[in-house]
Structure 1
Amino acid sequence: MTRPSTAALRSWAAACAGGLLLYASFPPLGWWFLAPLGPALLILAVRGRRAQSAFGAGGIFGIAFLAPLIVWLANLGLVPWLALAAVQALVFALAAMPLPRLLALPGWPLYTAAWWVALEAVRGRAPLGGFPWGRLAFGQADAPYAGWAAVGGGPALSFAVALLGSLLVYGLTAGRGGRRHISAAVCLGAAALVTAPLALPAPGTSGPSAVVAVVQGNVDRERTLEEQARVRGVAENHARETKALADAVRRGDVPRPDVVLWPENSLDSDPERDPELGSLVADSVRELDSPLLIGAILEGPGKRAYNAGQLWLPGQGPVSRYAKRQLVPFGEYIPARSLLGGLGALQLIPRDFLPGTSTAPLEAGRVRLGDVICYEIAYDDRVRDTVRAGANLLVVQTNNATYERGLQAGQSEQQLAMARIRAIEYGRAVALASTSGVSAVVAPDGQVMDRMGTWRGGHLVERVPLSARLTLSEWLGVWPEVLLGAPVLVGLALSLRRPRSTATAPQSPASTPEPDQPFTNLLS
């Protein structure tokens, strides 16, 4: 067996360190300022390397980043966690193969930033509908440049983070090569990236508003999937907390809400077909005399069902619903069920859900609820569609009990971080309702107005603005992703026209290493 060279070991160390630092920029640690170091160290790991070496470094980066980021998935078992981490690491590895060629081009920081946007576009769509968790943008809600999300959504913010990391490497190598004027120009460019969003107008707080109540009923913290599947009383827990909210209203402790929100799966069956559940929901609506959005499993055709939010109005009952459109593979449906459906914990998923089709907001008086369910918050088009359909308040109904019941590793906090970015992106308040936490109310500027931790019951009541203004991100739609990611195709085309001897040799103000040698002088 051939012993790895010192250059290879340095490359792997840089890739591993980059992945771990990028992980640390996300919740539960939330050290957002470390995010640019992830792209920077990946650049150092693959710079000057051949495609095969870059494949290895990219895979190490991907596993070091995503394995700890989604370790909460181990609550479902080691196999789901390791399998998803491995698939995502493979995507990073394959994407890293052409990266050394891009790093050999003049102006490579722009190409590497575009590479990140393109990579995230692929990860968000494939395989099986994609897995956008871990996009650079989703860890940057507290960053001073988070306002880029209002300009071009997640793609613009991810581009900014990746460009900062790229400029860091470019500027430092320029300084070490004696080209201090280039280093100074890079510093100015980085400063502009950080400060430009601060000039954007703050989301307006004048105009119509509404009082929103989020009810977190909580569930028993069961330790196995079998126990979790047998949990009962979730609806009763939410009805009890709703009664406590009604008592608080009657005492004058909180204002009467214009709309009350229950989380995903607050009911485990269809209240229109289950008289006991239907009566429980109707009683909760009467307690407050306010519209109530529940989360329920609604019956569909062919013995299949919808994971849905259903709006009940006082004196009218259920009037409208939103059915989840982005279903979770191996959670809400089983690909190749005839082959895989009998394996292990998959037996606890007896039927496949149907995806919904409607994007229309749910109307409760002047409140137009744009409902997204659970991990739909990670998908640009799912959130964009409901905002464009006229929503003036975004709602995230979620059930995170399965992912927090044993090892608590930040899944709920990561979801809240995404909700904060969506608030900035669309200038809308976001209400996050969870069965067992974290629940929160987020202002249009991404700041958390109030929140409730995990494994407790209670309610949140906040007055939020009902915004209908158009952000630049909403107006541009998918175009920022297209325009910011497209340069990577131009860069790849240019790199293929370069001679082999220069295709892997980095062009920078610093000295150029030999082919297949990592650019690690900053590490030594």
Structure 2
Amino acid sequence: MQTLAPADGDSGPDKTPGGMPTGADTPLRLPVALGLAVVAGLALLVAFPLYGLWWTAPIGVALMAVAVRGRRLRAGFGLGLVTGAVFFGPLLAWTNLHVGYAPWILLTLFQATYLGLLGMALAWLSPFARHRPWVWPAGIALLWVAQEALRDRAPFGGFPWGRLAFSQADAPTLALAGYGGAPLVTFAVAAAGGLLAYALGQAVGARAWTRAAAATGGALAVVLVGLVLPTTTPDGRAVTVAVVQGNVPRLGLDFNAQRQAVLNNHVAATMALADKVRAGQVKQPDLVVWPENASDIDPLRNPGAADAINTAARAINAPILVGAVLSGPEQGQSRNAGIVWPADLAPGTRPEQMYLKQHPVPFAEYLPLRPIVEPLAQAITNQAKLLRTDFVAGTAPGVLTLGPAKVGDVICFEVAYDDVVRDTVRAGAQLLAVQTNNATFDESEAMQQMAMVRLRAVEHGRDSLMASTVGVSGFVTSDGNVHDASGFNTDAVLVRDLHLGSGTTPATSLGPWPEYLLTLAALALLVAAGVARRRRPAPVEDTGQAASA
């Protein structure tokens, strides 16, 4: 009689004491698995703003894991890809508002590929986890962190949008950011999902209700552990900060064509604030923050723009952090900058402090491999005129002195990158200012970005703010709560006291090490799973002689 080893290389299904298969590790029928993959993507999606149902993130993790468990590698990849497409497509829909569908579809599929790789890795791991109950939930959590670590870095510096951690701004798990940053928050969410996946297997497949209940309780404990963790509170003096959201005449990619009107809007709003200060209606600010692209006319080269900003700074009698686009340093290059504009700038002199954005966005602010990519980019975006200038990256953290405060300047998408924000705090930032321009996107993108600001505030124990051209602007205290948030696509001036911080959270001190260690653990599990596969028993060849019953 012919005896064959299982096709996936494991040692067969778990058995009850009576020797019957439990069914906990039996792959689902493909139509069922495909349906679960779709629902997993939807569950991940609604965890993020504008929906904000943070508790669905672990459910999405669990459903994807259940869908791929016990499958061949290519099936695991395909199911993960489906989950990724369903998740990233709507999440990143704001990228298609003004450049057409092709870039959005390409970005969606590219990001979904990482979840495909995750699905493949989970399928690879599942035979190893068959007789090791702890491996499955732990492996799910570790592999999610590893997947995000790769996606956040490759290629061209990565694209961290859609990290599990960024869905947790309203969740108890947010407190974990202060202890291990975004990677620890992702690990906790995925660990809760892994425990739910294990519970589903035990309940539905094995009918092991006690183990299913224990795993579900464990998932709940992981999600709620943040309720007992303290957050770091800034210990310094209070400073009064004003955020000016000047708005734009109209949303869209022709934002640069409106640059004089946009600058005028921010000057006028600051002048109006100065009138209210003189009338005693508003407290005198210690510093003012304008958003990214508040002056797309280079004020270091254009006397008219410089005079307008000078007028606003003198009127408000406080330094202004001006988001500006600077020409050069060479032909065909630009710089995305935050410039400290003093109220007492002497005539004919230039501001001395500025921050240059360190992480320009590939394909939006510069074209990598330009000779190859430019013809393709022009063909799929139909926006050739937007592709002629590359933004040059800065090389130093954005710690700027504005009045009594050392402000950590972070520009737009940089808030998604752990190292950019962490290096800014380590360099001495007492509060964080995120300058952004959402004029080419929509409210969902702005709210997703605000969720990142909330995580960074908790991660580093710093009061923070987001200043946008069109919204959403607002203040975030170090506990992650948002205050005085503006509306979208409107003008607003916000004034609030924030506290300066000098302390260091465990996350700031540990830096990237939690992510490194969790990723190494994930790789070790994959290697162990590979070794176990190589040691599987070889199939017994059929010799043509039937074994006796």
TM-score of the superposed pair, with normalisation by structure 1: 0.90
CA contact (8 A) 2:408 2:430 kept: yes
Q: SS of the counterpart of 2:351?
A: strand
Q: How does 1:21-170 map to 2 (within 5 A)?
A: 21-75=43-97, 76-104=99-127, 105=129, 106=132, 107=134, 108-170=136-198
What residue is the counterpart of 1:437 in the other structure?
Answer: 471
Q: SS of the counterpart of 1:357?
A: coil
Match of 2:493 among 459, 471, 481: 459
Give me the CA root mean square deviation.
1.9
What residue is the counterpart of 1:207 in the other structure?
Answer: 236
What residue is the counterpart of 1:359 in the other structure?
Answer: 397
AA of the residue aligned to 2:489: W
CA contact (8 A) 1:308 1:322 kept: yes
What residue is the counterpart of 1:302 in the other structure?
Answer: 330
For CA contacts below 8 A with separation 6 or more, give which structure has more relative contact order: 1
Match of 2:277 among 231, 240, 249: 249
Q: 1:7 to 1:187 in 2, by over 3 A?
A: closer
| Alpha-carbon separation, structure 2, partners of 1:195 and 1:29 | 21
What residue is the counterpart of 2:450 in the other structure?
Answer: 416
Kindly name which structure, 1 or 2, has the bigger radius of gyration based on alpha carbons: 2
| Alpha-carbon separation, structure 1, partners of 2:44 and 2:393 | 33
Q: 1:31 to 1:188 in 2, by over 3 A?
A: closer
1:286 Cα shift? 0.3
What residue is the counterpart of 2:428 in the other structure?
Answer: 390
**1:17 has 2:50 as partner:** no
Percent identity over the alignment?
44
CA contact (8 A) 1:140 1:146 kept: yes
1:203 Cα shift? 3.0
Deviates more, 1:186-195 or 1:249-258: 186-195
1:335 Cα shift? 2.0
Q: SS of the counterpart of 2:223?
A: helix
What residue is the counterpart of 2:366 in the other structure?
Answer: 333
AA of the residue aligned to 2:518: L
Deviates more, 1:185-194 or 1:107-116: 185-194
| Alpha-carbon separation, structure 1, partners of 2:467 and 2:313 | 17
Q: SS of the counterpart of 1:319?
A: coil
1:38 Cα shift? 1.0
1:500 Cα shift? 7.1
| Alpha-carbon separation, structure 2, partners of 1:332 and 1:448 | 29
Residue by residue over 1:53-76, the C-alpha shift from the partner in whole angstroms, topping out at 9 and shown as x without a partner, is 111101101100000000010112
What residue is the counterpart of 2:303 in the other structure?
Answer: 275
Deviates more, 1:149-158 or 1:202-211: 202-211
Deviates more, 1:424-433 or 1:340-349: 340-349
CA contact (8 A) 2:246 2:265 kept: yes
Q: How does 1:463-482 map to 2 (within 5 A)?
A: 463-482=497-516
| Alpha-carbon separation, structure 2, partners of 1:387 and 1:205 | 13
Q: 1:319 to 1:214 in 2, by over 3 A?
A: same
| Alpha-carbon separation, structure 2, partners of 1:254 and 1:275 | 31
CA contact (8 A) 2:231 2:458 kept: no
What residue is the counterpart of 1:228 in the other structure?
Answer: 255
Match of 2:292 among 244, 264, 274: 264
**1:291 has 2:324 as partner:** no
CA contact (8 A) 2:37 2:63 kept: yes
Structure 1 unpaired stretches of 5+: 504-524
AA of the residue aligned to 1:414: Q
TM-score of the superposed pair, with normalisation by structure 2: 0.86
Match of 1:182 among 188, 201, 211: 211
AA of the residue aligned to 1:477: G
CA contact (8 A) 2:175 2:458 kept: yes
Q: SS of the counterpart of 1:486?
A: helix
Q: SS of the counterpart of 1:308?
A: strand
**1:426 has 2:464 as partner:** no
Deviates more, 1:479-488 or 1:209-218: 479-488
Structure 2 unpaired stretches of 5+: 1-26, 538-549
CA contact (8 A) 1:103 1:112 kept: no
1:319 Cα shift? 2.3
Deviates more, 1:199-208 or 1:156-165: 199-208
CA contact (8 A) 1:360 1:390 kept: no
AA of the residue aligned to 2:336: N
1:180 Cα shift? 4.1
What residue is the counterpart of 1:521 in the other structure?
Answer: none
| Alpha-carbon separation, structure 2, partners of 1:101 and 1:501 | 15
| Alpha-carbon separation, structure 2, partners of 1:204 and 1:91 | 36
Q: 1:294 to 1:229 in 2, by over 3 A?
A: closer
AA of the residue aligned to 1:211: T
Match of 2:411 among 354, 373, 377: 373
AA of the residue aligned to 2:369: A
CA contact (8 A) 2:235 2:500 kept: no
| Alpha-carbon separation, structure 1, partners of 2:32 and 2:295 | 53
AA of the residue aligned to 1:372: V
| Alpha-carbon separation, structure 2, partners of 1:20 and 1:186 | 23
| Alpha-carbon separation, structure 2, partners of 1:360 and 1:202 | 24
Q: 1:121 to 1:200 in 2, by over 3 A?
A: same
